[in-house]
């Protein structure tokens, strides 16, 4: 048994439905600002943990903390700008 017996076969794209997605609606500015503010707090926590780990000699943990801070900052900035 493959587990696909009850599911319909995927369409080949030749049906009457268009394959386009509906246009994306931007999030409200207050929501984007709130999510970015949360990202700033998490960046500070990750950065503080990474700095403290590096000071105490835990280089791998420090690098992971700083990488987490960088990735969170990137995601927060994308959320703010793209919506």
Q: What is the 3-state secondary structure (H, E, C) of the chain?
A: CCCCCCCCCCCCCCCCCCCCCCCCCCCCHHHHHHHHHHHHHHHHHHHHHHHHHHHCCCHHHHHHHHHHHHHHHHHHHHHHHHC
Q: pLDDT tens track of the chain, all 83 residues?
A: 555 566 665 655 556 666 787 887 888 889 999 999 999 999 999 999 999 999 999 999 999 999 999 999 999 999 888 86
pTM: 0.66
In sequence order, which residues have a C-beta less than 8 Å from that of residue 43 and are 6 or more positions away? 69, 72, 73, 76
Q: What local confidence, expressed as pLDDT, does residue 25 receive? A: 83
Q: What local confidence, expressed as pLDDT, does residue 20 receive? A: 82
């Amino acid at each position: 048994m493959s587990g696909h017996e009850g599911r319909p076969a995927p369409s080949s794209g030749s049906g009457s439905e268009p394959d386009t997605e509906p246009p994306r609606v931007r999030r409200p500015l207050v929501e984007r600002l709130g999510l970015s503010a949360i990202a700033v707090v998490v960046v500070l926590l990750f950065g503080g943990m990474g700095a403290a780990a590096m000071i105490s000699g835990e280089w791998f943990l420090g690098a992971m903390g700083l990488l987490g801070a960088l990735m969170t900052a990137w995601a927060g900035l994308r959320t703010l700008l793209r919506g």
